[in-house]
């Protein structure tokens, strides 16, 4: 299977699994198949409360992200030493994220949290990694890549109540 096709299938499986789980919990959920920049699903309840949700799906390993979208990173042009300056201002800090780990049918895992929670994890994890590496990235000194492992998200596993308790009201 072509890599791009496999990646697209992984993405869609994650979105459809989350939509199905939300429907099981009494919400109507629709996916947008990658056509909306900031979210992948909109869920709504009987009162027309709507919840945009961002989905990230992996088949194994860790979720790969660009830390510079969440934190301000300074890179000295001469020494290539990096330092975390501050957190970025997130446009939607309370956007709900669902990270999906595909395992086997019926065994998939769901980690549900706010975008601001992810930012905090990245802030701490990136700083820890830089400290271990003497503030220099070993392969590419300009890289701002970060891998988020399952253990960093364990506290958010199956946190469906975060979505079910949302009351983001829109005017109909």
Upper half-sphere CA count for residue 153 (Cβ side, 13 Å): 25
Q: Where are the beta strands (DSSP E) in 8-81?
A: 28-31, 41-44, 50-58, 63-66, 71-75
Judge whether residue 162 has pLDDT over 90: yes
The C-alpha angle 103, 109, 110, rounded to 5 degrees, equals 145
**Does residue 168 surpass a pLDDT of 60?**
no
Look up residue 153 and give its two tokens: 């998200």
Q: What is the mean pLDDT of residues 31-44?
A: 86
Task: Kindly state the average pLDDT of the residues 130-152.
Answer: 90
Three-state DSSP class for residue 155: helix
pLDDT for residue 170: 38
Question: In the predicted model, is pLDDT for residue 92 greater than 80?
Answer: yes
Determine whether domain 3-164 maps to CATH 3.30.450.20.
Answer: no
In DSSP notation, 8-45 reads HHHHHHHHHHHHHHHHHTT-EEEE-TT-SSS-SEEEE-
What percentage of the chain exceeds 90 in pLDDT? 70
Partnered with residue 54 across adjacent β-strands are: 97
Kindly indicate the confidence band of residue 106, based on its pLDDT and cuts at 50, 70 and 90. Answer: confident
């Amino acid at each position: 299977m072509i890599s791009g096709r496999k990646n697209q299938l992984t993405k869609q499986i994650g979105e459809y699994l989350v939509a199905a789980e939300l429907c099981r919990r009494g919400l109507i959920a629709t996916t947008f198949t990658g056509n909306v920049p900031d979210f992948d699903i909109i869920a709504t309840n009987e009162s027309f409360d709507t919840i945009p949700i961002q989905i990230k799906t992996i088949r194994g390993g860790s979720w790969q992200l660009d830390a510079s979208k969440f934190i301000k990173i300074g890179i000295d042009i001469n020494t290539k030493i990096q330092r975390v300056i501050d957190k970025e201002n997130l446009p939607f800090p309370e956007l709900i994220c669902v990270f999906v780990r595909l395992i086997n049918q019926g065994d998939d895992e769901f980690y549900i949290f706010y975008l601001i929670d992810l930012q905090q994890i990245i802030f701490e994890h990136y700083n820890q990694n830089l400290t271990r590496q003497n503030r220099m990235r070993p392969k590419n000194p300009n890289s701002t890549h970060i891998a988020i492992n399952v253990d960093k998200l364990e506290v958010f596993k199956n946190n469906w109540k975060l979505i079910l308790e949302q009351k983001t009201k829109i005017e109909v």
